[in-house]
Amino acid sequence: MGSLSIWHWLIVLVIIMLVFGTKKLRNIGSDLGGAVKGFKEGVKEGSESAAADAQQASKTIDVDAKPKS
């Protein structure tokens, strides 16, 4: 029960193409590519906003406290 050879993968690919058809597989591929692109943009925006939050949180306010009268 070892790993599958290239011939096994080719047979699986042919069966998938027969079941789904090339047009549907193309649509699935483009949808998957769009999802990956959206995920990457979301991660990029998330890391940028996290860096901005960390920079804003690191600001300190220097004041002199006055004693109560």
Residue 58 is given by DSSP the state T
Each residue's pLDDT tens digit, 8-46: 999 999 998 899 888 888 888 899 999 999 999 988 887
Domain locations along the chain: 1-44
* CB burial string 23-55: b at 16+ within 10 A, e below: eeeeeeeeeeeeeeeeeeeeeeeeeeeeeeeee
For residue 1, is pLDDT > 60?
A: no
What pLDDT sits at residue 11?
Answer: 93
* Model confidence, pTM: 0.47
pLDDT score at 56: 67
pLDDT at 35: 92
